Amino acid sequence: MLKKNIYNSLKLLKYYKLINHNLIYNDKAINRYKKDNYEISGNKSKSLELLKKSIISIRNCSLKKQANNIVFCDGNPKSKIMLVGEAPGANEDEEGLPFVGRAGVLLDKMLEAINLDRKKVYISNIINYRPPENRRPTEEEIKRYLPFITKHIEIINPKILVLLGSTAMNALIGNDVVISKMRGRWIEKKFGNCKTSVIITFHPAFLMRQPAQKKMAWIDLKMIREKKINLKI
């Protein structure tokens, strides 16, 4: 009898794995023409895992030596919208997640203003370990971590890439540009096999110091909202 019960339970588990049980409890109509939206493909999760492992195995990096945790990502790896910040601060280093401190609170509000939240987007940073005293990462540190964030973008393959602040902008677009001229416009850019529309906006930490610039950030956010609608994201 017990054997039969175990057998039946295993069969049921197998069945639950085959179907998407999230859909059973969902009252939304099923779009049969769209692939399910709940799990990332094996390839993507494997690539992300490998990328994380290769960052963890970086040698002779003083940032890594002093940090408590790697800060790799937050959000949904299937998202078509990716945000890239500068580097973790103290809270992020504690929790191992990007944008969980004061700047993160503002970022959440910015996302909410355009009907997004961190579960609907994917978030990472140029640098994966906290620079001491929250100083800006050096050119050498940026150079060291650049191949990783570039690969990260390629794996996520976003349709919209939002660069938060000038460190992310200079690292990924070039050192010869200034944020006041570059923000608020779309740039088409390729990262490996990923073709994406990039927009640069002010970093939330900068907006906390310069609240008068929030009106410019709002323009950028509205552009993201519009693009999202146009791209049917």
- Shortest approach of ligand URA to residue 74 CB, angstroms? 9
- Shortest approach of ligand URA to residue 103 CB, angstroms? 4
Distance of CA 5 to the CA centre of its chain: 44
Who contacts 160 (Cβ-Cβ below 8 Å, separation ≥6)? 80, 81, 82, 196, 197, 199, 224, 227, 228, 231, 233
Q: Which is nearer to ligand URA, 134 or 157 (CB)?
A: 134
Q: What gap in Å lies between CA 69 and CA 134, rounded to an integer?
A: 15
Q: Provide the residue type at 214 as one letter.
A: K
- Can you read off the two tokens belonging to residue 132? 């001491």
Q: Which is nearer to ligand URA, 87 or 172 (CB)?
A: 87
Q: Which is nearer to ligand URA, 75 or 85 (CB)?
A: 85
Q: Which is nearer to ligand URA, 90 or 219 (CB)?
A: 90
The DSSP 8-state label assigned to residue 77 in this structure reads T
- Shortest approach of ligand URA to residue 215 CB, angstroms? 21
- Shortest approach of ligand URA to residue 152 CB, angstroms? 14
- Shortest approach of ligand URA to residue 203 CB, angstroms? 6
Q: What gap in Å lies between CA 112 and CA 13, rounded to an integer?
A: 37
Q: Where are the alpha helices (DSSP H) in the chain?
A: 2-18, 21-24, 42-56, 62-66, 90-95, 102-113, 139-156, 166-172, 179-182, 204-209, 214-230
- Can you read off the two tokens belonging to residue 100? 């969980």
Q: Which is nearer to ligand URA, 35 or 144 (CB)?
A: 144
- Which residue number is nearest to ligand URA in terms of Cβ? 85
Q: What gap in Å lies between CA 106 and CA 110, rounded to an integer?
A: 6
Beta carbons of 52 and 44 less than 8 angstroms apart: no
Q: Which is nearer to ligand URA, 86 or 220 (CB)?
A: 86
The contact set with ligand URA (CB under 6 A) reads 85-89, 92, 98-99, 103, 125, 205
- Shortest approach of ligand URA to residue 62 CB, angstroms? 19
